[in-house]
Structure 1
Amino acid sequence: MRLLGLKLINLASFMYLLTASFFLSQNLQPSTANVYVMPAPFAFSIWFVIYLLLFIFLMKSFFANEELDRVVDHIGLWFPLSMFLSGTTVIVGTTPSLLFITLSLLTLCVVYTIIQRLNLSTQKYRTPFSIYLAWTSIATIVDTFVVLKANGVQELFAIGELGWSAFILAVGGLIALAFYFIQKDTWFPLVFIWGYGAIFAYQENTLIKFITGAFVVILLFIIFFSWFQKNRVS
């Protein structure tokens, strides 16, 4: 009964996420949306992939094998909480949205960590959360700068928006590399390739283009080189 309850809560939270995203979301004002880390609009279509993968995960959970039941049981309420927070992000005002998306990111980190520690026989159960976590990471970066701009913050510790944007994008790229090498996770950096590629395509600033373009090339090279090496050995 406990597992069934968790699965129903997961489904209800997912429905809330969809409802909030498609029917209740607020549009950004053009003045606040124009930040250096904003990706091209097409980048946000990745949400459809995330929704689909989460839906498949949820549906499979109702006909789960023992291993998937173990995943659902261990991630517990952290998973529905992350969806609730993510959905709420798009219906509150610009400034409070940063709090909700940050909390969503933190809960997803907990979910991801729990799944990693389960030592599952396959990584397929991790995939939806890898993609969800990676995109929420990028969305948190974007939302941070949108909120700062909306509140008239032009400098922080004597560093302007461009400087902080370059720094945070570099840190994000390094995190994507760390996920690939430490967590053996290919999907996480692939999402960063998608997001950084969209930023590269949308922004005109030379420094932003250099950083995002460089990480796209580096991540693609590492992933394809590793794939080539693995297939050549096998």
Structure 2
Amino acid sequence: MNSKVLRFANVAAIISTIIVNALANILPFNGLDTGSISDGFPVRFVPAGYVFSIWGLIYLGLSAFAIYQALPKQANNPAVAKIGWWFVASCAFNCSWLFAWHYLQFPLTIVLIVGLLVSLITIYRRLSSLRANASNADRWLIHTPFSIYLGWATVATIANATIALYDAGWRGGPLSDSVWTVILLVIGVCLAAFITLRQRDVAYDAVLLWAFIGIAVKQAAFPVVMGAAIVAAVAIAVLIVLAVIRKLPTQGRKALA
């Protein structure tokens, strides 16, 4: 693998992704805004509109990664080599998803967002062996951006699935929308707990906390969903505290005791 080609491809991939995302809402594709499409479905696992501002943070982090990995000093960075072409693949899935979403091809959106999720999981797992001994620069410019992106992709995949199922005519069977949303929130907390136990990843947990608070705000008219989202957010906050404590040196933990 030519590292120069890969590093150039990473830069081109994030630039292309940002441009496509901007055009999707400026034009917009198919005359529809990205957010207005999800608002058209009465599903409960959808956060308030302000929550989607996290895309700005995601693209800022990914742009920082692209610039950082392109620097001559990073030519032999093992973290960049571990990521390989999976970042380029994730950008391709991201852009393709936008076209499928705006043209209301919901079954296809599931395939594409799962592709995005798998790409990010692969990157995350490949980086996991380097996480403990990462330099501060690698931690903030490689590991953290992908933790945030994976956290949001987790939430987005669940939300996308609920919309695709609703569009296909499924209404939850014997369970109500609210009950299914509670189940999905529990799954989200379980995923966060798994990540916390394995990686102590505060950034990943923080994204879920942000999303669950947004769900509580958006679904305030549905007490069961709002209450479950608040409980889930509190559970995530506890996991974040535990992750922070576990990251502290032994002396720091004793001081807190």
TM-score by length of 2: 0.82
C-alpha root-mean-square deviation of aligned residues, in Å? 2.3
For the residues of structure 1 that align with 2:94 and 2:201, how far apart are their CA atoms?
A: 23
Matched with 2:236 is 219
The aligned length equals 233
Structure 2's unaligned 5+ residue stretches are 26-31
Q: Call closer, same or farther: CA 1:172–1:30 in 2, change over 3 Å.
A: closer
Asked if 1 retains the 8 angstrom alpha-carbon contact of 2:38 and 2:163, the reply is no
Structure 1's unaligned 5+ residue stretches are none
For the residues of structure 2 that align with 1:198 and 1:146, how far apart are their CA atoms?
A: 17
Matched with 1:170 is 186
Q: Call closer, same or farther: CA 1:219–1:103 in 2, change over 3 Å.
A: same
1:173-188 alignment runs, 5 A limit: 173-188=189-204
Q: Call closer, same or farther: CA 1:232–1:49 in 2, change over 3 Å.
A: same
For the residues of structure 2 that align with 1:212 and 1:68, how far apart are their CA atoms?
A: 44
Q: Call closer, same or farther: CA 1:155–1:58 in 2, change over 3 Å.
A: same
| 46-55 or 163-172, which deviates more | 163-172
Asked if 2 retains the 8 angstrom alpha-carbon contact of 1:32 and 1:150, the reply is no
| 215-224 or 96-105, which deviates more | 215-224
The one-letter code sitting in structure 2 at the alignment partner of 1:217 is: V
Q: Call closer, same or farther: CA 1:223–1:102 in 2, change over 3 Å.
A: same
For the residues of structure 2 that align with 1:34 and 1:188, how far apart are their CA atoms?
A: 27
Matched with 2:92 is 84
Matched with 2:11 is 11
Matched with 1:48 is 56
For the residues of structure 2 that align with 1:13 and 1:180, how far apart are their CA atoms?
A: 30
1:100-115 alignment runs, 5 A limit: 100-115=112-127
The reply on whether 1:143 has 2:155 as its aligned counterpart is no
The one-letter code sitting in structure 1 at the alignment partner of 2:164 is: V
The one-letter code sitting in structure 2 at the alignment partner of 1:16 is: S
Asked if 2 retains the 8 angstrom alpha-carbon contact of 1:173 and 1:215, the reply is yes
The one-letter code sitting in structure 2 at the alignment partner of 1:185 is: D
Matched with 1:155 is 172
- Per the TM alignment, residue 87 of structure 1 is displaced from its structure 2 partner at its CA by 2.0
Aligned to 1:39, what secondary structure does the other structure show?
coil
Asked if 1 retains the 8 angstrom alpha-carbon contact of 2:148 and 2:203, the reply is yes
Matched with 2:28 is none
Q: Call closer, same or farther: CA 1:197–1:175 in 2, change over 3 Å.
A: same
- Per the TM alignment, residue 188 of structure 1 is displaced from its structure 2 partner at its CA by 0.6
Deviations 1:100-155 (A, max 9, x none): 11110011100100000235522332111100000011011111111122222213
Higher relative contact order (Cα pairs below 8 Å, separated by 6+ residues): 1
Aligned to 1:91, what secondary structure does the other structure show?
helix
Matched with 2:46 is 38
- Per the TM alignment, residue 227 of structure 1 is displaced from its structure 2 partner at its CA by 3.9
Q: Call closer, same or farther: CA 1:173–1:70 in 2, change over 3 Å.
A: same
For the residues of structure 2 that align with 1:108 and 1:68, how far apart are their CA atoms?
A: 22
- Per the TM alignment, residue 42 of structure 1 is displaced from its structure 2 partner at its CA by 0.3
The one-letter code sitting in structure 1 at the alignment partner of 2:229 is: T
State which of 60, 63, 66 in structure 1 corresponds to 2:68: 60
